Amino acid sequence: DDPLVIAGRSFNSRLLVGTGKYKDFEETRDAIAASGAEIVTVAVRRVNLATPGAPMLVDYLDPKVYTFLPNTAGCYTAEDAIRTLRLAREAGGWNLVKLEVLGNVKTLYPNMPETLRAAEILVKDGFEVMVYCADDPIAAKRLEEIGCCAIMPLAAPIGSGLGVQNPVNIRLIIEEAKVPVLVDAGVGTASDAAVAMELGCDAVLMNTAIAEAKHPILMARAMKAAIEAGRLAYRAGRMPRKLYADPSSPLAGLI
């Protein structure tokens, strides 16, 4: 009754997950099943095309069940990202993609000028572009104007688990956006995901928080519940904060 709609496609789950960092494909499969995610990101460069007979992700995650979202992890220039996604489209027919053009290895923050340039070319080229970006409201709006179908600001450095560092910026991005806004990267635990959703995000994409928890399957379940909790709380409209106490048990009668 409250679907996530991206590029005209409708999803029940507002949790998107990555497929990296698990100890093996069994764990990948089980954690993703527990998360309830319908969209999974795949680093195009990581897909094993080299070794015939080696196990493959698609043996564990059925592309008819999950929407595969190819990303450009590891690309540091617009050209590299564009080339990667064109190869992905040729190879697998994927048109809905996640663009990321990284700035450096230490932060894995996006190079925004390159990202803007790549987004423009990819949109013109007919891709439906979900785009990883800085939590910069001006850049986020520009990416929407270019034609991206979802804006994906980072909450904190990829893999850091620090949670939403700048709620002011996420809020400003959401206020101006007419396409879905997804927090991408930086979530560390369940409450971080709930916070992102309470701010009004349409969805959250995560990977490390699940894969590097002590018990990934349990954490996948936690994240599923947290995304639902945050979304419901956003829709419910939280109580106002108060500086002083307010008795929750008004005394209407006396013994």
**Shortest approach of its own copies to residue 25 CB, angstroms?**
12
Q: Is-catalytic flag, 98?
A: yes
Q: Which two tokens stand for residue 125?
A: 């080229």
Q: Is residue 44 a contact point for its own copies (CB under 8 A)?
A: yes
Q: Given candidates 45, 67, 79, 200, which one binds its own copies under the rule CB under 8 A?
A: 45
Q: Given candidates 103, 121, 147, 200, which one binds its own copies under the rule CB under 8 A?
A: 103
List the Cα angle 85/99/158 in 5-degree steps.
130
Q: Which two tokens stand for residue 251?
A: 């005394």
Catalytic member of 21, 23, 64, 98: 98
- 3-class secondary structure, 33: helix
Give the phi and the psi of residue 36 in degrees, each rounded to 5: 75, 5
**Shortest approach of its own copies to residue 144 CB, angstroms?**
13
By beta-carbon proximity to its own copies, the closer residue of 8 and 106 is 106
Please give the Cα distance from 142 to 238 (Å, whole number): 31
Between residue 48 and residue 67, which ones bind its own copies under the rule CB under 8 A? 48-50
Q: Given candidates 7, 33, 47, 121, which one binds its own copies under the rule CB under 8 A?
A: 47
**Shortest approach of its own copies to residue 228 CB, angstroms?**
5
Q: Is residue 188 a contact point for its own copies (CB under 8 A)?
A: yes
Between residue 125 and residue 144, which ones bind its own copies under the rule CB under 8 A? 134, 136-139, 141-142
Residue closest to 31 by CA, chosen among 166, 158, 209: 209
**Shortest approach of its own copies to residue 8 CB, angstroms?**
26
Between residue 226 and residue 245, which ones bind its own copies under the rule CB under 8 A? 226, 228-233, 235-245
Q: Which stretch binds its own copies (CB under 8 A): 4-12, 123-131, 145-153, 156-164?
A: 156-164
**Shortest approach of its own copies to residue 36 CB, angstroms?**
12
Q: Which two tokens stand for residue 59?
A: 């043996």
Between residue 14 and residue 33, which ones bind its own copies under the rule CB under 8 A? 18, 20-21
Residue 110 has what DSSP assignment? B
CB 45 within 8 A of CB 66: no
CB 182 within 8 A of CB 147: no
Please give the Cα distance from 164 to 195 (Å, whole number): 8
Q: Which residues pair with 203 in a beta bridge?
A: 182
The amino acid that residue 143 corresponds to is L
By beta-carbon proximity to its own copies, the closer residue of 67 and 191 is 191
Q: Which residues pair with 133 in a beta bridge?
A: 153
Q: Is residue 168 a contact point for its own copies (CB under 8 A)?
A: yes
**Shortest approach of its own copies to residue 48 CB, angstroms?**
5
By beta-carbon proximity to its own copies, the closer residue of 10 and 239 is 239
- 3-class secondary structure, 227: helix
| Terminal-residue alpha carbon distance, the chain | 46
Give catalytic residue positions.
Answer: 98
